[in-house]
């Protein structure tokens, strides 16, 4: 962010998803899931994330180590500055807290939710839906939880959810879903008269 003055792209995820790998036809063999889309996201701004204090630096988002007592304040400050927030949905306490903050601070209009390629998609979606309970999106998200192949989705201000599925689970499928989500969010923001980055 010192060298790139654009508003950042904030990547929020469970540290457990840092090791997720995915097939990527652009490379030989598998590639870390985050690496497969971080380069694409960098066209919107510098991609930043909280560093796992128990892991060495990794390729993908630029990471910052944050103290236990202040990480939440820093994440909220980043949410405020971010041009785009990408959440890898999950059921951990930290991920649910972050999503709850996005909802309560009205940042869903710049948030894409991605279902990482781990073994239990239903468990991850159940964790992602929990912060939405009692909100206008609860019903639409409950409908999503029964579907297989969900790759990414975003929430619209009218309580609807736009989602993208695929049969395959490769990097290209996620990139296409991510691109359509971002494009759709920008179109909806413009049609509602909201400023866009």
Residues near 90 by Cβ (< 8 Å), separated by ≥ 6? Answer: 13, 14, 16, 17, 96, 116, 124, 127, 128
Residue 37 has pLDDT above 60, yes or no: yes
Residue 170 lies in a domain: yes
pLDDT of residue 27: 56
Q: What range does the domain containing 66 cover?
A: 9-191
In a domain, 87, yes or no: yes
Q: For residues 95 and 127, what is the distance between their CA atoms, to the nearest angstrom? A: 8
As a whole number, mean pLDDT of residues 55-79 equals 83
- In this prediction the pTM is 0.87
In a domain, 1, yes or no: no
Please give the backbone phi and psi of residue 183, each rounded to the nearest 5 degrees, phi first.
-60, -45
Dist. CA 25–CA 22, nearest whole Å = 10
**Residue 127 pLDDT exceeds 60:** yes
pLDDT band, residue 72 (cuts 50/70/90)? very high
- Of 5-19, 20-34, 89-103, 161-175, which range is least confident? 20-34
Position 197 in a domain: no
196, part of any domain: no
> What is the pLDDT averaged over residues 51-56?
74
Residues written for the chain: 197
> Considering the chain, what is the average pLDDT of its residues?
84
- Our count of domains for the chain comes to 1
3 occurs within a structural domain: no
- Flag whether 50 is in a domain: yes
Instruction: Dihedral sign for Cα 143, 146, 150, 152, please.
Output: positive
Tell me if 75 is assigned to some domain: yes
């Amino acid at each position: 962010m010192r060298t790139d003055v654009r508003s950042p792209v904030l990547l929020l995820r469970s540290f457990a998803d840092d090791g997720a790998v995915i097939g990527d036809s652009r490379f030989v063999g598998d590639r870390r899931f985050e690496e497969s889309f971080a380069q694409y996201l960098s066209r919107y701004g510098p991609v930043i994330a909280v560093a796992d204090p128990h892991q060495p630096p990794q390729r993908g988002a630029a990471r910052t180590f944050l103290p236990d007592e202040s990480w939440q304040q820093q994440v909220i400050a980043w949410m405020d500055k971010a041009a785009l927030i990408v959440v890898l949905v999950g059921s951990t306490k930290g991920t649910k807290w972050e999503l709850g903050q996005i909802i309560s601070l009205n940042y869903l209009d710049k948030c894409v939710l991605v279902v990482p390629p781990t073994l239990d998609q239903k468990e991850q979606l159940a964790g992602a839906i929990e912060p939405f309970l009692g909100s206008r999106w609860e019903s639409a998200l409950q409908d999503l939880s029964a579907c297989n192949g969900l790759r990414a989705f975003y929430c619209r201000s009218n309580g609807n959810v736009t989602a993208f599925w695929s049969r395959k689970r490769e990097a290209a499928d996620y990139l296409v879903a991510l691109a359509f989500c971002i494009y759709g969010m920008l179109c909806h923001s413009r049609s509602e008269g909201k400023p866009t980055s």
